[in-house]
Amino acid sequence: MKDIKLIVTDMDGTFLNSHYEVSPDFSAVFQELKKRNILFVPASGRQMSGITQYFEDIKNDIGFIAENGGYVIYKNKELFADKLEHKFIVDITAAIREIPGARAVLSAKKKAYYESDDQQFVDYFTRYYTENQKVNDLGEEVDDDVFKIAVYHPEGSEKNLYPFLEKFRENNLEVVVSGKYWLDIMNKDINKGNALQKLQNLLNISPSQTMSFGDYMNDITMLEKSKYSYAMENAHPSVKVAASFSTLSNDDFGVLKTISEYLSI
C-alpha cells in the first residue's frame, strides 16, 4: 500500500464513536495528511452542516460528501448538488405515512424539514440534521432544493421500511438502507460511490490511490471505488463482504488507527 492520495470515510458508526465524538488523535493525523498532500473527505448521509460542524477549522482544506452523495463540496466550493422532483416527494411521503412508526425528513440544501410531533424523534434526528424546520405537510413544496427523503423507524429500517418503500426503485430512484434505523430515497445514481468518483475525476486520482472506510449498505458503492476499502468491526455483514480489508470498531477509532499505521505515526 503506497501512493495514497485520497482518504474517504463515512461518519456515523465509522469515523465517529458511539458518542458522536472525533478521535483526539485526529488533529495530529490530519496535519500529517496535509503535509503529504493526501485529501481527507468525510462522506455521510447527513446534511452538509451536520458534517462540517466537526471540521470547521479545516473545511477549506478538505472535501465533503453529504446527503449520501447528493451534495459535494471541495475546499469550500460546491462541486455537485442534486434535486429531487416534487412529484416524487408527494408520493413517497404519502406512502411513509402508511407505515406505522415511520418518520420522514426532507433533507435539503438550506434545511431539513419534518412534520412529526414526536418530540423523542425530533430530539434524535436533529443531532444529525442541525439546520431544521417543522412544516405542516411534507407534501407541500418548500423553497429549497431537496436532495433526499430520509426515513426513520425505531424498530429498524431493513425490515420495517425497505420492504414497503423499495417499490419506488421503479420510479428510477435509489432506495438504500443507510443505517440500523434509517433508509434514504434519492434520484437514481445518487450515491457515495458516484460522488467519490466525481472527486477522483476532478483531481485525477485513481481508485488504486484511494482508501475508504464504511459500516453500512450506503457505503458499499464508495468502497467499490477504492482499492483499499475497509469495513469496520461493527459493520453490517454485507459491508464486510464488499470491503477488501477490515479494521477496529468505531468505538476503538479504527479509522484513525488504520490511517496512522499507513502513515507510520
pLDDT tens digits, 90-138: 999 999 999 999 999 999 999 999 999 999 999 999 988 989 999 999 9
C-alpha closest to that of 232 among 208, 256, 198 = 256
Residue 70 burial by CB count (10 A; 0-12/13-18/19+): exposed, middle or buried?
Answer: buried
pLDDT tens digits, 153-188: 999 999 999 999 999 999 999 999 999 999 999 999
Q: Cα–Cα distance between 165 and 215 in angstroms, integer?
A: 22
Confidence category of residue 202, pLDDT binned at 50, 70, 90: very high
Confidence category of residue 1, pLDDT binned at 50, 70, 90: low
Q: How many CB atoms lie under 10 A from the CB of residue 19?
A: 6
Helix 254-263 to helix 26-35 angle (10° resolution) is 40
Domains, the chain, ordered by start = 6-81+190-263 (3.40.50.1000), 86-187 (3.30.1240.10)
* pLDDT of 262 above 90: yes
